[in-house]
Each structure stands twice: as C-alpha cells, then as structure tokens.
C-alpha cells in the first residue's frame, strides 16, 4: 500500500474511534436508587414513546426543543415564556394504550436546561385512564447535563446526537428524591404514594426532536 494511502486509512480509523469515544462520553445511565420499589409498595407504570404517542408540545423557547404540530401557539408571553406543555398518550408495559395525559413544566427565571449544566424545575402531571379515573402528580426534575452534553453538542456539530441517555429525572420534592402522588378521581380517588419519571433518550435531532421513551413509575402505598 502506498504511504499516502496508509496515512489516509489511519486518519480515517482515528476519526472513527474519536467519534465513537464522543458518543460513549455522553451515553450514560443516571438511574437513582429511588427508582426501585421498596417493601410493601405496589408499582403502577405508564409508558410513552415520543415518536408514537406524543400529541403536542409547546413552550416559550428556552428548552432547546422543537414544537409540534406545526402552527401550535407558543408560550411567548412574558408571564408564560418559561413554561412547557406536553400532551401524550400512555401505554402499559406491553404497549397497549390505556390513557392520555398532560405534563406542565415551569423553569426558573434565567435558567435554561438547553444551556446550563443542571437545572431543576417544577413539573405537574395529569393522567386520565378512561373508564377508571384520573391521577395527579407533582415532582421536581433536573436536566443532569443534557444541555451541554446533548443539545449544545447537536447545535455545534449540526448533526443529530445519537446515543443512550437513561436518567431518573425526578429529584424531589420528597426527601428520598421521589415525586408525590397528589391525589386522584374515580377509581383512584384514594390513591396515595410516590413516583419517579424515567426518560431514555436515544436521538436528539438538529430541529429539536427527541426520540425518547418515558415511564411514570408510581409506587402505591
């Protein structure tokens, strides 16, 4: 092999290794111990895949994500600009649709999860299970480095991020790091317990679309 060809081949190999290393650097698991049930707790989970189950998402522009469907009003007004609304369908662990719900988020003034290393914010969930009732949840979430390691990297390279970002986003408000089941209606009128949100991101596109699996894991007392 001519020397020039060997140099080119070596350069290509080094570039490939560097790309793999970059992906590995942001592929991480951040599942907290609070994600597992304790003795006496019954687990009830609601699952959603953003590609198949998301209905709509809008926000004020600080989260670094896209909005859809096209033409959906943004939360651009000063009093609303730090907010986010996500509507989606929920499935059980076998993929059968069982309900729908809404997530409401509000971020601290002057802090963006698309930029900061670790932002914490308030989140509320409303889950509807037709024929059974409703469940209401509250939590504090954190970004865990998603902004600089995924969103900013995508913006800088102009290429989709592909990897495995698996995280328990819930960090409170309870002392054990879980969120609170606030209450319910119908069959769930007397529900009590705690919960966590677990997200698994595998792609973040240059236009802000997330390929993500989400689980709301409820621990019923």
Determine the distance from the C-alpha atom of residue 115 to the mean position of all C-alpha atoms in its chain, rounded to a whole number: 16
Task: Kindly report the pTM of this predicted structure.
Answer: 0.87
Q: What is the dihedral of CA 63, 50, 133, 142, to 10 degrees?
A: -40
Q: Above 90 in pLDDT, residue 93?
A: yes
Whether the CB-CB separation of 90 and 97 falls below 8 Å is answered with yes
- pLDDT tens for 134-153 read 999 999 999 999 999 999 99
From the CA atom positions of the chain, what is the Rg in Å? 20
Percent of the chain past pLDDT 70, that is, above it, reads 88
Whether the CB-CB separation of 138 and 126 falls below 8 Å is answered with no
């Amino acid at each position: 092999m001519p020397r020039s060809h060997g140099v080119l081949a070596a350069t290509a190999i080094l570039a490939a290794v560097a790309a793999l290393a970059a992906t590995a650097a942001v592929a991480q698991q951040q599942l907290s111990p609070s994600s597992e049930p304790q003795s006496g707790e019954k687990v009830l989970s609601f699952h959603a895949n953003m590609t198949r189950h998301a209905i709509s998402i809008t926000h004020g522009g600080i989260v670094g994500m896209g909005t859809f469907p096209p033409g959906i009003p943004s939360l651009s007004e000063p009093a609303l600009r730090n907010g986010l609304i996500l509507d989606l369908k929920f499935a059980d662990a076998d993929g059968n649709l069982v309900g729908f719900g809404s997530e409401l988020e509000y971020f601290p003034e002057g802090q963006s999860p698309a930029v900061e290393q670790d932002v914490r914010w308030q989140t509320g969930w409303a889950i509807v299970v037709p024929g059974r009732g409703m469940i209401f949840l509250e939590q504090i979430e954190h970004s865990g480095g998603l902004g600089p390691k995924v969103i900013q990297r995508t913006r800088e390279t102009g290429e989709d991020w592909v990897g495995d970002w698996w995280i328990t986003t819930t960090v409170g408000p309870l002392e054990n790091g879980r969120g609170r089941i606030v209450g319910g209606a119908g069959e769930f009128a007397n529900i009590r317990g705690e919960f966590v949100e677990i997200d698994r991101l595998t792609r973040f596109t240059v236009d802000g679309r997330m390929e993500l699996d989400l689980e709301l894991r409820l621990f019923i007392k």
